[in-house]
Amino acid sequence: MRKSRSNTLLNARRPVVIAGMMLVSLLLIGVLGWQSYRLQQSNNATAESVLREYAILAADEFGRRLTANLGYKGYYQLISRFDDPHSAEEMQLAISGDERLGAIASLAGGYFVFEDNKLSSMSIGQTGEVESLLRQVFDQAAMDDTPYHSARTASGRLQLIYRLSSVDGRPNKAFGFSVDNGGVSRMARKTFDSGPLLPASLADGRVSNDLLFVELIDPGGAVLFENNRQYDSRLTVAKVLGSDYQGIVEGFTIRVSVNPDSASSLVIGGLPTSQLPLLMTIMVMVFVLMLTALWLFRREQAIMRLRNDFVSQVSHELRTPLTQIRMFAETLLLGRTRTEQESRRSLQIIDRESKRLSHLVDNILRFSNISDTTQIDRHWQSLAPILEEVCETTQATCDDVVIQIEADPGARANVDADALRQVMLNLLDNALKYGPQQQQILVTLTSAGHYTQISVTDQGPGIPPDEQDRVWTAFYRLRREQDTAISGTGIGLYVVRELVEAMDGRCSIGETGTGTRINIEFRAVAND
């Protein structure tokens, strides 16, 4: 008893244990997925850091080259053409007449000479700001050995490159030119195209300027140069240039970013391949498998419950006729019957219960052997004799019930006689079991058109409409019968349907005023 209770408790806890193990497995896979996500985030952060560092390196290199090109190859070459010019026109002629300068000449937008507090200029706008700037220059200037100087107007929109001449060590004249932004843009383009801004040692030289976004902005906010705008992103870095080369690029801003897709080639060793998609796929597959396993386990539990219920019902069904047979057999053996009529009555009960027992065993055997390959031996034959035989046999064991048969003697069908007997015995057994005492059961056999129909009608309580489709399934019993003393295995109508369909027939439940009518139809003629 204690062992049985322990097994029952173990079986009750098994679903909880299995569900717990599945949940733990899912959690472990989730932890792996989270760690993979964190690792991927760390890899991305590393890649972004590397891209920013390379962008800073490229910005430094671009600023260095641009400052050298503007300062030495540009402004110095222009300003060195003048020694002590007397007018802006003279300066313009000197520059335009020197073919050796080429494109460098485009750096100068206009020319000026400032002497005795007077401005002589050519093609220079904002003369008021220029005069004010040059006065400040003279007030603050000190002679030195630098080849030229740079200054920017108060608005920041005009830059001057100039030299100073002196008398007795004091500046008395300033001359030079204003910077043309278009010339600076062309110089920036030439600088950008002069060679890779990143060392060739990076990624075996595969990182070219085509992977870089570069933008040059002057102190006034004007964009002088831009390349590969599509790579401008949150990884863009900005570098503000200082006062190198007499401050010619002071206040300029260089913005640089590297194409994010090049991270795998820039990071030494490459970025590790993300395992997150694979882990997510595995997680989904495991989750589906776990749900499937849980569903199969619940289905197994349901099948086990059905099996236990079936065994219990069959045991009860077998026990009842066996008890009757044993009791009346002992009565006869011990000579306890007082009259010949009592002895005959005992023999009739033994015969009835043995037939009932045989019918139950046949049902169980039929149920266990039913499959898609159920063996049926069909022949075209008259159905009336088979129905009359079954009805007479059943009537002989039931004195308080009247079984009436109305059969068309010409009704024929292609059936298996033994299977049809089993079908009729099941239907009559249900009618006797669920109908009232002293009822009348009507069995009809009719033939109309291409079909032959058998109907069994009882005077019982009927089958509720919402359960009429389910009574044909195995182990199903009406809800109202589950808590009653009426015994049953729940396989009778299931065996009926399987046997009828194996003979190419069909079953249905018909409408009656009272009771239940089961209809069975077979084709009365051969298929075309």
For 363-516, strand residue ranges (E) read 379-382, 402-407, 412-415, 440-448, 451-457, 506-510
Which carries the bigger pLDDT value, residue 321 or residue 146?
Answer: 146
Quote the DSSP letter at residue 506.
E
**Both structure tokens of 90:** 């003279």
Q: Alpha-carbon distance 288 to 286, whole Å? A: 5
Q: Of 124, 62, 68, whose CA–CA distance to 246 is shortest?
A: 68
443 touches 387 (CB < 8 A): yes
Q: Alpha-carbon distance 318 to 310, whole Å? A: 12
Neighbours of 351 (CB within 10 A): 14
**Both structure tokens of 172:** 């008395």
Distance of CA 52 to the CA centre of its chain: 35
Confidence at residue 113, expressed as pLDDT on a 0 to 100 scale: 92
Indicate if the pLDDT at residue 268 is higher than 90: no
Confidence at residue 493, expressed as pLDDT on a 0 to 100 scale: 84
Quote the DSSP letter at residue 273.
P
Indicate if the pLDDT at residue 7 is higher than 60: no
Q: Which of 45-49, 393-397, 472-476, 486-490 has the lowest mean pLDDT?
A: 486-490
Which carries the bigger pLDDT value, residue 274 or residue 462?
Answer: 462
Tens-place pLDDT, residues 91-149: 888 888 888 888 889 999 899 999 888 888 888 877 888 888 888 888 776 667 788 88
Q: Which of 306-310, 394-398, 510-514 has the lowest mean pLDDT?
A: 306-310
Q: Which residue has the tokens 């959690």?
A: 27
Tens-place pLDDT, residues 405-449: 999 988 999 998 888 888 888 888 888 888 888 889 999 999 888
Angle between helices 2-70 and 181-193 (to 10 degrees): 120
- Helix H or strand E encompassing 135: helix 127-140
C-alpha distances (whole Å) from 119 to each of 4, 84, 122 are: 116, 15, 10
Indicate if the pLDDT at residue 6 is higher than 60: no
338: three-class secondary structure by DSSP: coil
Delineate the domains of the chain, giving CATH numbers in brackets.
11-264 (no CATH), 370-523 (3.30.565.10)
Mean of pLDDT values over 29-36 = 74
Which carries the bigger pLDDT value, residue 488 or residue 94?
Answer: 94
Q: Is the dihedral of CA 474, 480, 485, 486 positive or negative?
A: negative
Mean of pLDDT values over 153-161 = 85
Mean of pLDDT values over 253-262 = 89
Indicate if the pLDDT at residue 211 is higher than 90: no
Q: Alpha-carbon distance 485 to 389, whole Å? A: 30
Confidence at residue 1, expressed as pLDDT on a 0 to 100 scale: 46
Q: Is the dihedral of CA 314, 320, 324, 327 positive or negative?
A: positive
Alpha helices in 71-126 (DSSP H): 76-79, 88-96
Q: Alpha-carbon distance 397 to 355, whole Å? A: 9
Tens-place pLDDT, residues 43-75: 778 778 888 888 999 999 999 999 999 998 999
Tens-place pLDDT, residues 360-383: 777 666 666 655 556 778 889 999
Pairing between strand 212-217 and 253-258? Answer: antiparallel
Quote the DSSP letter at residue 74.
I
121: three-class secondary structure by DSSP: strand
Mean of pLDDT values over 448-475 = 85
Q: Alpha-carbon distance 122 to 110, whole Å? A: 5
Mean of pLDDT values over 301-320 = 67
Confidence at residue 201, expressed as pLDDT on a 0 to 100 scale: 75
Average pLDDT score over the chain: 81
Number of alpha helices (DSSP H) and beta strands (DSSP E) in the chain: 12, 16
- Helix H or strand E encompassing 68: helix 2-70
Alpha-carbon dihedral of residues 321, 322, 327, 333, nearest 10 degrees? 120
Tens-place pLDDT, residues 323-351: 778 887 888 888 877 888 878 878 877 87
Indicate if the pLDDT at residue 205 is higher than 70: no
516 touches 458 (CB < 8 A): yes
What's the alpha-carbon Rg for the chain, to the nearest Å?
Answer: 54
Confidence at residue 257, expressed as pLDDT on a 0 to 100 scale: 92
Among 255-269, 275-289, 456-470, top mean pLDDT goes to 456-470
